[in-house]
Structure 1
């Protein structure tokens, strides 16, 4: 009885999470102008229309650029901060860790509004650069938290041994510390890319002419739902799932 209830609960949970996505994907193949029942047939015309749209293609490339570059910057800064606070005893280090993690508890809307005011004061023009800065701000705490949690005594011992053998500090960090943290660093990077890839609020407020894919999708939705918007959503979901699968196969895969 308990086993049956457990399977039933699992089925309901999966249906609750994936049923909207399944409906989205199904009606992206709708052979009609409206993505509503009844289902009139299967066609790939909407995907061809989406992939042939220059604005969507440009927005897709912008999203990939912002996601990869901002995640890489956030990873480097988060790793260096974690290494410093884990290896060096500083006055107020607990407070420093709290300040670094604090953006994780703040709404993206608040972060975006604060950065928007800052950029207006400094005269920095809204662009993909400003959106990337916003994504670094929200992803850096994630990279820091994952890296800091993964640092242990065995890495400290290896670093001490390298210093005793005459290695300079930059070699200790790049050739000892970073390779020993390859798995958590890769996990932090892939998660940052995933979060940045489909982030909307920061990208919407901190871009103007060159926009990311979520902002372009929002512009399409202003004219109403269509199978084309469902096709775009399906492609975004496909990319996100692909990143998660790659993360699972390359990082979280158990090794004998």
Structure 2
């Protein structure tokens, strides 16, 4: 019986990873299809669909829009989340638990509801849909995540170090920027990487809050309206590979800082 446990564990792990990554593997595989339809039998490999993706001005513009929105909105979300976490963890405020719950509440709300609420709010304010509104929407959904990550990383040992810095004459902004932020840098980088990943491939809010300048997921959706083809698979593979690259870079940076 004991000999069967490792086999069962490995079998379960392989089945789990297969369930998660099989759709992605199929997507990437048929992005190299030489024919015009991403269906069996596989005919290839060929890079012509990737060359069409890189030669498509709309897709490249959408790619640049996605990168800009992801980076800027993630920077805003990390800054707001870190400051909120620091204030609630270090300050003595009435109703701290309730404030924590209110900040993290959007994590449980559907992106569709958040997107509709933002769209109505912007329309009432006279603000038209654009990449700016998309960035604001992504900052709204990512700030609670950044707050949760930073708040969970604030421990009692950091309080003693911050107190020592104040005793040595550091002002509050110096403690925040030169002591607290460097100590929490692994958590900050992790929050930034996750925010970039979520913003990079987010569709619902980007679709509701954009008009002419769109992000890459919205442009891929436009391609899907004309039917399946390997070019769509190639564009989706690019989105997946960039998301993986962001996470891997963040993991390497965090691991080096911890070492």
Number of equivalenced pairs: 256
CA displacement 1:177-226 (0-9 Å, x = unmatched) = 10111110111010110111000000000001110000000000000000
Q: Which region of structure 1 is more displaced relative to structure 2, 245-254 or 148-157?
A: 245-254
Alignment gaps of 5+ in structure 2: none
The alpha carbon displacement at 1:41 in A equals 2.1
**Conserved 8 A contact 2:166-2:175:** yes
In structure 2, do the counterparts of structure 1 residues 213 and 252 end up closer, same or farther at CA, with 3 Å as the change threshold? same
Report the counterpart of residue 194 of structure 1 in structure 2. Answer: 197
Report the counterpart of residue 17 of structure 2 in structure 1. Answer: 14
Query: Given the alignment of the two structures, is residue 29 of structure 1 paired with residue 32 of structure 2, yes or no?
Result: yes
Report the counterpart of residue 236 of structure 1 in structure 2. Answer: 239
Report the counterpart of residue 172 of structure 1 in structure 2. Answer: 175
Report the counterpart of residue 54 of structure 1 in structure 2. Answer: 57
In structure 2, do the counterparts of structure 1 residues 172 and 184 end up closer, same or farther at CA, with 3 Å as the change threshold? same
Q: What does residue range 213-224 of structure 1 map to in structure 2 within 5 Å? A: 213-224=216-227
Q: Distance in 2 between the 1:20 and 1:158 partners?
A: 48
How does the TM-score come out when normalised to structure 2?
0.96
CA RMSD of aligned residues (A): 1.2
Report the counterpart of residue 146 of structure 2 in structure 1. Answer: 143
Q: Distance in 2 between the 1:43 and 1:24 partners?
A: 14
**Conserved 8 A contact 2:77-2:139:** yes
Q: Distance in 1 between the 2:255 and 2:103 partners?
A: 26
Q: What does residue range 76-87 of structure 1 map to in structure 2 within 5 Å? A: 76-87=79-90
Q: Distance in 2 between the 1:40 and 1:101 partners?
A: 48
Query: Given the alignment of the two structures, is residue 106 of structure 1 paired with residue 142 of structure 2, yes or no?
Result: no
The alpha carbon displacement at 1:40 in A equals 2.0
How does the TM-score come out when normalised to structure 1?
0.97
The alpha carbon displacement at 1:248 in A equals 2.1
Return structure 1 stretches of 4+ with deviation > 6 angstroms: none
The alpha carbon displacement at 1:5 in A equals 1.0
Q: Distance in 2 between the 1:247 and 1:254 partners?
A: 11
Alignment gaps of 5+ in structure 1: none
**Conserved 8 A contact 2:186-2:257:** no
